[in-house]
Amino acid sequence: MNEVTPDQTYSWQVRLSARDPQKLYSILFMCVLGAFAGWLLFHNVTFALIGFVAIGASTAEYWLPQKYKLDRNGASAQCGISVSAIQWSDVKQVTPDERGVKLSPLSGNGRMNEFRGVYLRFNQNKDQVLEQVRMSTTHE
């Protein structure tokens, strides 16, 4: 794959629910259960709605598409309204695994590594993503 040029962007998306769509029914059931608990405990539609939305929002990574983008400036991951991004100049550590690659602004291993950086999930494009990351981090 060619290096990302200033006018190019490499992007893809991953939908975790496509791997096991039956889990969507469990999520919907838990959302309804949360709404029922809100109604039962407070006898208020607002609290029922809060229960439904809280569970739906906390599981959004599973049922919403996750969009990833690599460009000349950096990498970003978006799920709904949540966006994580990192500039190539800030990447200190690249840690690939079987499902994706973590771009971290921290060097070395520490307690904060899990909570900092951007995780890019693969969608049958592991080689392309790793090559783009390699080229982008070595040219900075």
Question: What does the pLDDT read at residue 140?
Answer: 54
Tokens of 25: 């029914």
Encode the chain (140 residues) as per-residue pLDDT tens digits. 444 454 589 999 999 999 899 999 999 999 999 999 999 999 999 999 999 999 999 999 999 999 999 999 999 999 999 999 999 999 999 999 999 999 999 988 888 888 899 999 999 999 999 999 999 988 65
Question: What does the pLDDT read at residue 1?
Answer: 44
Q: How far apart are the first and last CA of the chain?
A: 19
SS3 14: strand
- CB within 8 A of 87, min separation 6: which ones? 73, 74
Going from N- to C-terminal start, the domains of the chain cover 18-61, 66-138
SS3 73: coil
| Architecture category of domain 66-138 in CATH | Roll (2.30)
What is the model's pTM? 0.85
- DSSP secondary-structure letter at 99? S
d(CA 31, CA 94): 36
Sheet of strand 100-104: strand arrangement: 93-96, 100-104, 118-121
Instruction: Find out whether 10 and 69 touch, Cβ atoms under 8 Å.
Output: yes
SS3 130: helix
Q: Kindly report the CA angle at 38 between 32 and 43, in degrees rounded to 5?
A: 125
